[in-house]
Chain A
Amino acid sequence: MTPREAILGKIRSQISVGSDDTTRRTAVANRLSSTPKGVIPERGQVAPAECVDLFCQQAEKVHATVDRISTYDGVAEAVSAYLRGRNLPQSVRMGDDNRLEAIDWSKTPNLSRAFGPSDGSDPVGLSHAQMGVAETGTLIMTSGSANPTTVNFLPETHIILVHSQDISGDYETSLNQIRSQFGKGRMPRTVNMITGPSRSADIEQKLLLGAHGPRSLHIIVVDD
C-alpha cells in the first residue's frame, strides 16, 4: 500500500464511508464547481466611486501612501515626483507590463528604468496591480514577465499602479476575476495579495515597518 492509499484509506475508515459514496462525491463536485460565496462584508458593497475611496482609506490605514491621478499620462511625473520627495534615486526596476510600456516616459528623461526580475540591488520597484480590493486596501499581483514577483519583495520601496476600474469591494470578486482570466481551476504560479508595506512585531510585540519586504509601499490609483 502506498502512503497515499494508507492515508486516504484511514480517513475513509474513520468516517465510516460505506460502499455507496455517491452523495459525498456529489457534494464535493458541487462545491468545487459552484464555488458558493459566503458572507460578504457590507463595507465594500458600495458604488464604484465610493469603493475607490474606501480602497485608498484602507490602504493608508495600513501605512501605504496613496496618490490619485486622473490618467496614465500623469504616471511618469507622479513616479518621479514621489522619488524626489523621498530623496530616492530616479531609477526603477519593472517588468514588461503593457500598461507600463504604454506610458510616455519621455516626460521624465532623468528617470531610468531597468527591466526584468530584481536581484536585490534595486532601491525601487514599479509594478502594475491586477486588481485592488477595497475592504482592506489590498493589491492583487499576478506573476509573469509583466510584473515579476521579485519586484514585489526585494526593493526597499515599491510603487504599485492600480486602475480604479480594477478595484472591487471584496476578495471574492477579485479572485473570481482571476478565475475567469486564467481559467477555472487554474492559477498563475504566484498571486500576491499585498496589504501595506512589510512589517514585524516579533520583538516585544512592537510594530515595525520594513522587515524583509519593502519598507515603503506607494500606491498610484489611476482614475482614467
Chain B
Amino acid sequence: MKITTPEFKSNAVEALADENLQKAMGHVQVGFIEKRQVAADGLPEFEALRDNARDIKNHTLAHLDLYLEAYSEKVEQSGGHVHWAQTAEDARNTVLEICRKAGAKTVTKGKSMISEEIGINAFLEDNGIAPIETDLGEYIIQLRGEAPSHIIAPAVHVLKEQVEEDFRAEHTHLDVDRNLEEPETLLDEARTVLRQKFIDADVGITGANFLIAETGTSVIVTNEGNGDLTQTLPRVHIVLASIEKITPTLEDVSQIMRVLARSATGQELSVYTTFSTGPRREADVDGPEEYHVILLDNGRTNMIGTEFQEMLRCIRCGACMNHCPVYRAVGGHAYGWVYPGPMGAVLTPSLEGVEKGGNLPNASTFCGRCESVCPMRIPLPKMMRHWREREFERNLNPATQRWGLKIWAWIARHPGLYAFGARIAVRGIATLAGKNGRLASLPLAGGWTKYRDLPAPEGQTFQQQWRVRGGK
C-alpha cells in the first residue's frame, strides 16, 4: 500500500475535522478501555503474567535463530511447507506461486496484519485472483477500498450507517427494501453473503498470533470463526507470519494468551483459539490438504540487537492505541501505513525507514499510558524518543525546529544562564498576561495559543522554589 506517513500532519488536520470519524472514535472508551480494566482487575495474577510474557519473549528473541530452526523442522515433519521471505515482495510472490499451483480463482482471508503489510490483496487482484476478506471489519473496509485503521478493529472508524450504504452498494442481488438499520441485520447479511465464499474458495490465507517451536503449530485467535472457516474449508491453507511470532512451547503460548485477549478486547479469552499443525491427516475428514507457512522478515532482523529489539515482543493487541490520546483524536488512517498508534510510531520507522516514518514518533505527548497498559511491557515512549534522536541526527527535522532544539540544548548546559533566562521569562510572561493570569497569544507559541490560553507563571521559577524548600 502507498505510505502517506510523511503527510501525518495534514492527515491529522483532516481527521480532526471529520465528523463521522470523531463520532466513531468515541466508541473506543467503553468498547476497549473500560473492558480491559475490568478484565485486568479480574485476574489477580495479571501483572505477574505480564512479567512472564515479557520474559518469555525476551528469551525467545535472544535465541530466535534456534527457535526458528526448531519450528521449521517440526512444520516439515508434520507434512507442512515453510517458505522464508526476506522482503514483502518475496512473500507476495510465494503466495502467488502457491495460488497458481492450486489453480485458485478465489482466496478467502482471515484477518492478518502481515497481509496488509505486504499488500497481498492488490497484488492478487492484479494477477487475476480475487481475495475475499472474511472478518466483518476487514470485509467492510475491503468494500470501502480502505486500509484498516486499527490492528484488531479494522473498521473502528466506520459508522453503522456507512456500513449500510456499503452493503447496499455491494449486495445488489438482495431486496432493496430490506431493513439494515441495526448492526444485527448487517452482521446477518455479511454472514449469509460470505458463507458461500468460504465454501467456494480454493485457498485460505490466515495470519498467526503465535508459531510454536515445540510442535510446528500456528495459532490464530479470533471471535467470529471466520479464520477457522478460512483455514478449514479450502484445499490449501497459507499462513502469513512474521519471524517474531515464534514462541517456544505450548505452556509459553498459554501464558501469553492470558494477557492477549484481556488487553485487546477485555475478554478473558477470545472465542476461538485454534492450533493448526500441518495438513489434514489420515484420520481427518476435513481440513486442508496442503499447509504452507510463509515466514516474513521484512526488516525485523535489523531491529534485533538494537534499542528497538523490545518492539518485537509486540503481540498486536491494540491496547497502546486504545489508550493513546493522539490515536483517539486522529484515528488510524492519519498514521499513513499499516500500524497506527504508539506501536505503529515505533514500528513504521523501523520497517519503512525514518525518512518516511519519522513523523510518527513525534506524534506523542509521552504521557506513558501505552507503556502502562502494554501486556508485553514494551517501553514505547523510550523507543519513540530513540527515533526522535535518530531523526535529529540525520537532519530530518525542519531547520527552525533544529535550531530551536540546539539553542535550548546549549542554554540547558549552562545552568547560570538557564536560571537567569528562566527568571526573565517568568517575569516577562507574567507581565504580559496582566491581571487575569492567562495569555491568549504569545510569540513563537502560536500553535498552542491558537486553541487555548496559556496560563501565566504565578511566581518564582522551579529552581528558585526548589532552593527555598531546601531541595524537598
Interface residues of A (CB under 8 A from B): 2-4, 6-8, 10-12, 14-17, 24-25, 27-28, 31-32, 35-43, 58, 62, 95, 116-117, 119-120, 135-136, 138, 143-145, 148-150, 152-154, 170-172, 175-176, 178-179, 185-206, 208, 210-214
Contact yes or no, A202 B84, CB < 8 A: no
Additional A-B contact list (6), CB under 8 Å, known A148-B284, A190-B232: A11-B304, A25-B66, A35-B250, A39-B48, A62-B271, A154-B229
Contact yes or no, A153 B228, CB < 8 A: yes
Q: Report if B68 contacts A (CB, 8 A).
A: yes
Contact yes or no, A28 B254, CB < 8 A: no
Contact yes or no, B159 A204, CB < 8 A: yes
- Considering only CB atoms, which chain B residue lies closest to A152 in the complex? B228
24 contacts between A and B (CB under 8 A): A8-B65, A10-B302, A14-B306, A15-B304, A31-B59, A38-B252, A41-B44, A117-B286, A120-B199, A138-B269, A144-B281, A152-B228, A187-B215, A187-B275, A192-B273, A201-B31, A202-B137, A205-B28, A205-B32, A208-B184, A208-B187, A210-B191, A211-B187, A212-B198
Residues of A within 8 A of B281 (CB): 144, 188-189
Q: Report if B310 contacts A (CB, 8 A).
A: no
Residues of A within 8 A of B226 (CB): 211-212
Contact yes or no, B136 A200, CB < 8 A: yes
CA distance in complex: A62, B268 (Å): 9
Residues of A within 8 A of B214 (CB): 32, 35, 185
- Considering only CB atoms, which chain B residue lies closest to A24 in the complex? B63
Contact yes or no, B285 A145, CB < 8 A: yes
CA distance in complex: A87, B193 (Å): 25
Contact yes or no, B269 A195, CB < 8 A: yes
Contact yes or no, B74 A185, CB < 8 A: yes
Chain A's nearest CB lies how many Å from the CB of B32?
7
Interface centre among A7, A10, A172, A208 (most CB of B within 10 A): A7
10 shortest interchain CB distances as A-B pairs: A213-B225, A205-B31, A211-B224, A202-B137, A14-B305, A3-B84, A191-B275, A193-B273, A14-B304, A171-B254
> Assuming the A-B contacts A150-B286, A195-B269, are A202 and B154 also in contact, with contact meaning beta carbons closer than 8 angstroms in the complex?
yes
Q: Report if B116 contacts A (CB, 8 A).
A: no
Contact yes or no, A3 B90, CB < 8 A: yes
Residues of A within 8 A of B136 (CB): 200, 202-203, 211
Contact yes or no, B274 A7, CB < 8 A: no
Residues 260-317 of B contacting A (Cβ, < 8 Å) = 265, 267-281, 283-287, 295, 297, 301-302, 304-306
Across the interface, B269 reaches (CB within 8 A) one of A6, A148, A193, namely A193
Contact yes or no, A38 B56, CB < 8 A: yes
CA distance in complex: A148, B267 (Å): 27
CA distance in complex: A16, B305 (Å): 8
Residues 227-264 of B contacting A (Cβ, < 8 Å) = 228-229, 232-233, 243, 248-252, 254-255, 257-258
Residues 137-191 of B contacting A (Cβ, < 8 Å) = 137, 140, 153-156, 158-160, 163, 183-184, 186-188, 191
Across the interface, A42 reaches (CB within 8 A) one of B44, B223, B257, namely B44
CA distance in complex: A210, B185 (Å): 11
Contact yes or no, B283 A144, CB < 8 A: yes
Main secondary structure of the interface of A (DSSP, over half): loop
Residues of B within 8 A of A154 (CB): 229
Across the interface, A176 reaches (CB within 8 A) one of B64, B213, B250, namely B250
Chain A's nearest CB lies how many Å from the CB of B291?
8
Contact yes or no, A11 B65, CB < 8 A: yes
Contact yes or no, B64 A11, CB < 8 A: yes
Contact yes or no, B45 A32, CB < 8 A: no
> Assuming the A-B contacts A150-B286, A201-B31, are A7 and B84 also in contact, with contact meaning beta carbons closer than 8 angstroms in the complex?
yes
Chain A's nearest CB lies how many Å from the CB of B211?
13
Q: Report if B433 contacts A (CB, 8 A).
A: no
Q: Report if B458 contacts A (CB, 8 A).
A: no
Contact yes or no, A37 B251, CB < 8 A: yes
Q: Report if B337 contacts A (CB, 8 A).
A: no
Contact yes or no, B269 A143, CB < 8 A: no
Q: Report if B62 contacts A (CB, 8 A).
A: yes
- Considering only CB atoms, which chain A residue lies closest to B83 in the complex? A3
Interface string of B73-117 (1 = CB under 8 A from A): 010001000101110001000000000000000000000000000
- Considering only CB atoms, which chain A residue lies closest to B135 in the complex? A202
Across the interface, B228 reaches (CB within 8 A) one of A4, A189, A213, namely A213
> Assuming the A-B contacts A14-B305, A204-B159, are A95 and B277 also in contact, with contact meaning beta carbons closer than 8 angstroms in the complex?
no
Chain B's nearest CB lies how many Å from the CB of A28?
4
- Considering only CB atoms, which chain A residue lies closest to B226 in the complex? A212
- Considering only CB atoms, which chain B residue lies closest to A61 in the complex? B268
> Assuming the A-B contacts A24-B63, A38-B255, are A3 and B156 also in contact, with contact meaning beta carbons closer than 8 angstroms in the complex?
no
Across the interface, A187 reaches (CB within 8 A) one of B198, B217, B269, namely B217
Chain B's nearest CB lies how many Å from the CB of A31?
5
Across the interface, B249 reaches (CB within 8 A) one of A8, A31, A149, A213, namely A31
Residues of A within 8 A of B284 (CB): 143-145, 148-149, 189-190
